[in-house]
Structure 1
Amino acid sequence: MTDTTVTDATIASTAKPATKPARPHFSSGPCAKPPGWDASKLAVEVLGRSHRSKLGKARLQYAIDLMRELLNLPDTHRIGIVPGSDTGAFEMAMWTMLGARGVTTLAWESFGEGWVTDAAKQLKLEPKIHRADYGQLPDLSKVDWDDDVLFTWNGTTSGVRVPNGDWIPDDRRGLSFADATSAVFAYDLPWDKIDVATFSWQKVLGGEGGHGVLILGPRAVERLTEYTPAWPLPKVFRLVSKGALAEGVFKGETINTPSMLAVEDAIFALEWAKSIGGAQGLIARSNANATALDKIVAHRDWLGHLAPDKGYRSTTSVCLTVEGADEAFIKKFAALLEKEDAAYDVAGYRDAPAGLRIWCGATVDTADIEALGPWLDWAYATAKAG
């Protein structure tokens, strides 16, 4: 068998590749649009209409119904479209439900660290904090489930995910709050283990930003209706009216005015997902992309995974290390690729260790991941030479 390992010697003579990824969109958010997407394909008869019109509410409800179907979400769980992308959805959950009992926060990347800040400095809840360095997970067995527990299912900025839901006990007293924005539609999530989940369309579905999705299990609904926080809530966070859940929020009656164009864009992505086999089709595409990128990494001694353990390595936001690279080198590396229209937005997150981040979610084609390998070689060689 031919040795295909790419070493410094072969890098030195690397020529600019002849073939580029057909869609060089590898950003980790907003992510690549679904294959075949075109603005002219969106149903636009709802544009210019009220979101509270019969048509507007029907389209919002249709988006909710499609999400429920694709996620195999049980009837016990409610789905609401809320403002502020995933951040808005997660903060809505924190501000409306935390404070009833102790809080534990898990942080192994920047967004998890953001929830630590919210809980400790904004809500002043004195949470227990379990941290791990980028590329690692904290010891999940030490989590106190008498508390409400906040965590990111898939750390977008570190390429680290929780391996499964086995660490979440069925008899937990606290609620599980999962920021699942880079995980929903990419993993088979155990909904019986998740009391609160949030995500945005701009990740695995390749939708537009600005809107969040809030999923509530029955225990979260119980918390909302039986507990009143000590702090005031802004209008866009209010999920309870006169002591009862505002059910309209989960039937397409959004708290504030949504972009119906963004809703139609999400519907396009959801219908595409349904056409390729639903959640399992999306998971299969993401896994194939991650496998293709793994092969690229394995054949290059200058490239590695920030998350060394494949058991908790993300298959969507895959974070890579580059031998000897600092922030300036990565900036140059990414700029070279962008100038050639070979890869867009592949520099790692600003708070993460210097490296690359390649989105491998379902809207990316595996052939484009495969075509990326030689361009990484070229950019690495060019950046080193210059």
Structure 2
Amino acid sequence: MKPEVKPANPLFSSGPCAKRPGWTLEVLKNAPLGRSHRAKVGKSRLKEAIDRTAALLGVPEGYRVGIVPGSDTGAVEMALWSLLGARGVDVLAWESFGKGWVTDVVKQLKLDDVRVMEADYGELPDLSKVDPARDVVFTWNGTTSGVKVPNGDWIASDRAGLTICDATSAAFAMDLPFDKLDVVTFSWQKVLGGEAAHGVIILSPRAVERLESYTPKWPLPKIFRLTKGGKLIDGIFSGATINTPSMLCVEDYLDALSWAEIVGGLEGLIKRSEANLAVLRAWVEKSPNVAFLAKDPATVSNTSVCLNITAPWFTALGQEDQAAAAKKVVALLEEEGAAYDIGAYRDAPAGLRIWAGSTVETADLEKLIPWIEWALDEVKTSYA
């Protein structure tokens, strides 16, 4: 039977993600629109965003937090183009975005000493093979595979290389061990549901030392430059961004940070996300129709939850028919207004991807599950 009750908020996209509960346009009313971002009011808002980000995430003393253009992609690119080349590098990839960084390092930067360690969707590379004498580039949470690294135990405390971590769907939802991470990047539109176009880059003292002692052999566009005259550009980390930021987006991010503080800070955000995953995990354990794409339970993401469709009628289909059937399920849920944007990423195996970050209410996920089961049953009749 078709369920009677729909999620109050059917937005389960993995990016941009749902706004925080209770959000309205009214929260943006104090944004300093029409003012220069370099005026006192603009710089103060940007500096506030930086300081509150550091406090909420528990960023260690001596680390630098900066706001940069181009979302998480821009922040990662800035790190790769500015820092790599000083020593050999290991690049880890087990989903689409990690493979994108492989392309950057191998085909764009064309570094000589690169080891690429890849794994199929649902799995992790062998982390024990990462060499602490080399730099390493990796995603903490595979947004398109639903596979996260379980911890930072595989990263050596006495490493000589730098760890460059794309944490865009992990920051504010997972406990990142900053003592093991030299560069951390993320974007506002993921876990806290902020508006797009801005990225955050966090640098350890070791990363700053590399920037100030090493000059890449390739030219750097202005938008990637973190140093000037051999010294870190302090303005990036104190409210003077490289290019013009949207003060509307900054105001929205400040509102998201305020909400995060109200729900218990980082610990509260993690608890909300893990409670959401618990609902989906209980469903997966009892339903014959779905399974986590992640093969190891310890690596199942608590933000971008990726699911295989395991219903017998579905697995009996060919690959093209599976992709079509999964799209029909997603389209039916959207047509009913029960869920939007929960299809698997275009490069991932056919299935579902449900955002379970802290801005999603647990009650909405509980209401979503019967709708997915109903949609699977409805689409099944097309292939009977």
- Count the aligned residue pairs: 372
Alpha-carbon deviation of 1:130? Answer: 0.7
> Which of 375, 380, 383 is residue 384 of structure 1 equivalent to?
380
1:150 and 2:146 aligned? no
Is contact 2:338-2:371 (8 Å) kept?
yes
1:264 and 2:260 aligned? no
| TM-score, length of structure 1 as denominator length | 0.95
Task: Report the equivalent of 1:183.
Answer: 170
Is contact 1:44-1:261 (8 Å) kept?
no
SS of the equivalent of 1:59 reads helix
The one-letter code of the counterpart of 1:215 is: I
1:49 and 2:35 aligned? yes
| Structure 1, gaps ≥5 residues long | 1-14
- How far apart are the structure 1 equivalents of 2:345 and 2:86? 34
Alpha-carbon deviation of 1:298? Answer: 1.6
| Structure 2, gaps ≥5 residues long | 316-321
> Which of 315, 318, 339 is residue 305 of structure 2 equivalent to?
318
Deviations 1:226-274 (A, max 9, x none): 0000000001111101111101100010000001111111111000000
- How far apart are the structure 2 equivalents of 1:139 and 1:330? 31
Alpha-carbon deviation of 1:145? Answer: 1.5
Task: Report the equivalent of 1:370.
Answer: 366
Distance 1:141 1:29, change over 3 A: same
Aligned counterparts, 1:195-274, within 5 A: 195-274=182-261
> Which of 319, 334, 337 is residue 338 of structure 1 equivalent to?
334
Deviations 1:274-307 (A, max 9, x none): 0111000000000000000111212210111100
Alpha-carbon deviation of 1:43? Answer: 4.0
Is contact 2:303-2:357 (8 Å) kept?
yes
Deviations 1:46-95 (A, max 9, x none): 11110000000000001111101110111211111001100000000000
SS of the equivalent of 1:62 reads helix
The one-letter code of the counterpart of 1:296 is: W
Alpha-carbon deviation of 1:44? Answer: 2.8
The one-letter code of the counterpart of 2:294 is: A
> Which of 59, 66, 70 is residue 56 of structure 2 equivalent to?
70
- How far apart are the structure 1 equivalents of 2:132 and 2:29? 45
| TM-score, length of structure 2 as denominator length | 0.96
Deviations 1:122-164 (A, max 9, x none): 0001410111110001110011121110000000000001111
SS of the equivalent of 1:114 reads helix
Alpha-carbon deviation of 1:165? Answer: 0.7
- How far apart are the structure 1 equivalents of 2:275 and 2:267? 12
Is the deviation greater in 296-305 or in 285-294? 296-305
Is contact 1:21-1:368 (8 Å) kept?
yes
Aligned counterparts, 1:157-168, within 5 A: 157-168=144-155
